[in-house]
Structure formats: structure tokens, C-alpha cells
């Protein structure tokens, strides 16, 4: 079976209730790595052996500090950059093998929404023209049909018809992000990657865009990867969350389990930091100390040990394996069983 057939025939589960994840993965990532070689001896290990799967209809969150490799994963999943090693399968198809018409179809199946909507739109083009362009590129519909589709999509993302004639400079950041999301959905993708889609917006706009994405996800039965440095964002919209540190995933769990019983000291520190304003609790043993080490020379053993308040000798010597804390909860820490539940995490999950 070629990739064309695969991308066409792996159906959305029509019996699936809107918004509910089903078991079969749409996206499978195995031992993915991206090393940028600066010389024969030195390379930046942006992504260094990452594996995860996203089930059809599921929203997976990918969180971690700036520079831990999140956007590189988005670029690898959309084939904007080739991996150093590892595989990405979408709808069962290894994306590195896809070419020609099949690649065009893949590019339609997977859409990406970035942080900066101003950068994503040509300032000299009216919104309507920008939204119609990908439809024309993929030879979808007549000019009139494309215009109708765009008008309907504008309404779906909460914008009135006047936006069709506007230029980007005549819109707010939140309105433009609606345009960018609508433009991505016009191609009827199955997999939407959102890379920090709300980080350029203020708090009220952020909530509106997250609510819109939640709504569109249900209506279009999308599978999503939500990338953010902000735990509040992934908590709002995700079914499951993967926490990334220095090129690796260190914890994966269902959303509620992650917030209620975070197992990795790094996850605990991120939760504590994100809830600081609300709870006022920030116990010293869960504080995040120092800066992210350089991905040019990641620490030996557990990569987090240089910042971890619980680190012991073993942590600097041996890299922990992924262990299962429960069926759907994995953690990469030698001492996760010995960590006590912390107050910040309890308060934040209340």
C-alpha cells in the first residue's frame, strides 16, 4: 500500500464521540534525534532520542523551558528539517519516505500554527487572499467556492465577513491568530501542531484562542500536538502531557495524573513555578535552580541532576530509564518512588 492510499484510507473513527480520544495512534515517533553539527567534534543535541505516540482525536501537550527542543520536534514532524536519526510515522506512513504528490498530500494532512500570526501572514495581502492561497495551491474548488469556504471559515473562527477585505495591520493579534488557525483548517488536516499559539497574546485573548481550539478540535475531530512552555496552556486543552528537558522527554502522563501526582522533580518544579501566583507555595526543595545547561554538552547521567534538589551520586553516573508509575504514566528518574507528594502540586490540582 503506498502512502497515498494510507493517508486516504486510515479513516477518522466515525463512531467516536466528538472530542474523545480512541486507541489507535495517528502519530508515532520513535527514537527521534536532531543534532546540529557545529564542527566534527561538537553538535547541539536539540532532540536526543524522543519517542511518543498520539492517538487519533487526542491532544498531546509538549512542555518544557525555552531551548529544550520543542520547536525542533514541530519542524521534524512537518519535514521542515530532516532527523539525524529515528522515525516519524503519520497514519502508518514513515514520513521520510513520502515524495511527490504524496508529500503534497502529507503537507495537507499536517498543519502547523505558529506563535506569531503577524509573521505568518503577508502584510501586503488581504486576509481573504491569504486564506484562499493554500486552497488554490492544492487546486481545491473554483474561485467562487474558495471564497465561500473562506467566508464560512471566518464565521467558524469568530470573525465577521469584513475581515475578508482587511489587511493584517487592521487586525489585533488575537484576530490574526484566528485567521491563521482558520487558514490551517481550510485544508481539512487530520493533525494540527500548535507551537506556542498563545504566547504572543494577553491573558484574556489566550483563553479565547484556547477555547476556540478546543471547540474546533471537537468539531473537526483533530489530533493535536500543543507545544508550550506554559503549563496553564497545556492544562487547558490537552488530554495527555509530555514534559521535555534538554532534548529528552522525562515524564508523560494523562493531564490530571500529571498535575495531581507529578513524579519527576523537573515536572514538580514547573508546576510549582506556574502556580506560584495562585498558591503562594514554593517549597525550596522543588524550586528550579540555575539555567538550562547547554545542549552542546548535556550533563552526564540524568540530564536534570545539576538542577535537582534530590540528586544523589547515581544521578550523575547513570541515565535513568523510562519507568512506569502506572499504565499511562512514565517517568525518567532514579528516585521517583522516594519523592514525597508536594504541597504546590496538591494545591494546583485542587
Ligand X SMILES: Nc1ncnc2c1ncn2[C@@H]1O[C@H](COP(=O)(O)OP(=O)(O)OP(=O)(O)O)[C@@H](O)[C@H]1O
Site for ligand X in 47-76 (CB under 6 A): 64, 66-72
8 Å CB contact between 295 and 69? yes
Shortest reach from residue 36's CB to ligand X, in Å: 4
Shortest reach from residue 68's CB to ligand X, in Å: 4
Give the Cα separation of 28 and 55 in Å (integer).
Answer: 9
Out of 295, 298, 301, 320, the residue judged to bind ligand X by CB under 6 A: 295
Out of 46, 56, 175, 306, the residue judged to bind ligand X by CB under 6 A: 46
Strands 85-90 and 93-94: antiparallel
Shortest reach from residue 108's CB to ligand X, in Å: 24
Shortest reach from residue 190's CB to ligand X, in Å: 23
Q: Which residue's CB is nearer to ligand X, number 185 or number 225?
A: 225
Other C-beta atoms closer than 10 Å to the C-beta of 152 total: 11
Residue with cell 485567521: 179
Cell (9 digits) for 87: 522515525
Shortest reach from residue 273's CB to ligand X, in Å: 15
Out of 19, 21, 35, 36, the residue judged to bind ligand X by CB under 6 A: 36
CA angle 9, 13, 17 (to 5 degrees): 160
Give the Cα separation of 192 and 27 in Å (integer).
Answer: 11
Out of 7, 27, 33, 44, the residue judged to bind ligand X by CB under 6 A: 44
Should residue 86 be labelled a site residue for ligand X when binding is judged by CB under 6 A?
no
Residue 159: name the closest of 123, 140, 183 by CA.
Answer: 183
Distance of CA 135 to the CA centre of its chain: 25
Hey, is 314 helix, strand or coil? helix
Site string for ligand X, 184-223 (x = CB under 6 A): ----------------------------------------
Give the Cα separation of 173 and 325 in Å (integer).
Answer: 41
Shortest reach from residue 69's CB to ligand X, in Å: 4
Shortest reach from residue 116's CB to ligand X, in Å: 11
| Site size with ligand X, rule: CB under 6 A | 13
Site for ligand X in 216-235 (CB under 6 A): 229
φ, ψ of residue 113 in degrees (nearest 5): -115, 125
128 Cβ partners below 8 Å, 6+ apart? 147, 150, 163, 164, 165
Q: Which residue's CB is nearer to ligand X, number 119 or number 341?
A: 119
Shortest reach from residue 330's CB to ligand X, in Å: 20
Q: Which residue's CB is nearer to ligand X, number 157 or number 201?
A: 201
Residue 286: name the closest of 347, 225, 234 by CA.
Answer: 347
Q: Which residue's CB is nearer to ligand X, number 221 or number 248?
A: 248
Give the Cα separation of 8 and 257 in Å (integer).
Answer: 35
Give the Cα separation of 311 and 315 in Å (integer).
Answer: 6
Q: Which residue's CB is nearer to ligand X, number 70 or number 236?
A: 70
Q: Which residue's CB is nearer to ligand X, number 117 or number 295?
A: 295
Interacting residues toward ligand X by CB under 6 A: 36, 44, 46, 64, 66-72, 229, 295
Amino acid at each position: 500500500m503506498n502512502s497515498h492510499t494510507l493517508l486516504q484510507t486510515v479513516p477518522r473513527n466515525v463512531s467516536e464521540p466528538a472530542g474523545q480520544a480512541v486507541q489507535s495512534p495517528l502519530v508515532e515517533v520513535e527514537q527521534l534525534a536532531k543534532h546540529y553539527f557545529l564542527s566534527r567534534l561538537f553538535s547541539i543535541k536539540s532532540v536526543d532520542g524522543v519517542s511518543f505516540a498520539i492517538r487519533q482525536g487526542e491532544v498531546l501537550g509538549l512542555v518544557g523551558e525555552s531551548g529544550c527542543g520543542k520547536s525542533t520536534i514541530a519542524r521534524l514532524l512537518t519535514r521542515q528539517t530532516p532527523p539525524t536519526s529515528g522515525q516519524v510515522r503519520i497514519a502508518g506512513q514513515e514520513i521520510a519516505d513520502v515524495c511527490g504528490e504524496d508529500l503534497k498530500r502529507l503537507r495537507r494532512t499536517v498543519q502547523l500554527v505558529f506563535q506569531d500570526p503577524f509573521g505568518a501572514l503577508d502584510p501586503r495581502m488581504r486576509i481573504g487572499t491569504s486564506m484562499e492561497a493554500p486552497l488554490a495551491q492544492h487546486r481545491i474548488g473554483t474561485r467562487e467556492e474558495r471564497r465561500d469556504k473562506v467566508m464560512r471559515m471566518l464565521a467558524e473562527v469568530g470573525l465577521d465577513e469584513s475581515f475578508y477585505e482587511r489587511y493584517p495591520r487592521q487586525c489585533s493579534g488575537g484576530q490574526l491568530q484566528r485567521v491563521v488557525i482558520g487558514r490551517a483548517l481550510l485544508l481539512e488536516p487530520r493533525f494540527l501542531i500548535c507551537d506556542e499559539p498563545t504566547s504572543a497574546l494577553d491573558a484574556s485573548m489566550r483563553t479565547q484562542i484556547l477555547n476556540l481550539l478546543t471547540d474546533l478540535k471537537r468539531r473537526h475531530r483533530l489530533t493535536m500536538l500543543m507545544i508550550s512552555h506554559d503549563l496553564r496552556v497545556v492544562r487547558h486543552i490537552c488530554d495527555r502531557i509530555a514534559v521535555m528537558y534538554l532534548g529528552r522527554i522525562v515524564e508523560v502522563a494523562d493531564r490530571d495524573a500529571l498535575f495531581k501526582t507529578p513524579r519527576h522533580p523537573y515536572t514538580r518544579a514547573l508546576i510549582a513555578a506556574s502556580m506560584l501566583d495562585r498558591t503562594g507555595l514554593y517549597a525550596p526543595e522543588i524550586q528550579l535552580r540555575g539555567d538550562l545547561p547547554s545542549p552542546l554538552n548535556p550533563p552526564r547521567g540524568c540530564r536534570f541532576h545539576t538542577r535537582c534538589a534530590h540528586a544523589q551520586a547515581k544521578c550523575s553516573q547513570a541515565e535513568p530509564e523510562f519507568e512506569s508509575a502506572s499504565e499511562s504514566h512514565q517517568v525518567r528518574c532514579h528516585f521517583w518512588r522516594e519523592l514525597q507528594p508536594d504541597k504546590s502540586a496538591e494545591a494546583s490540582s485542587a
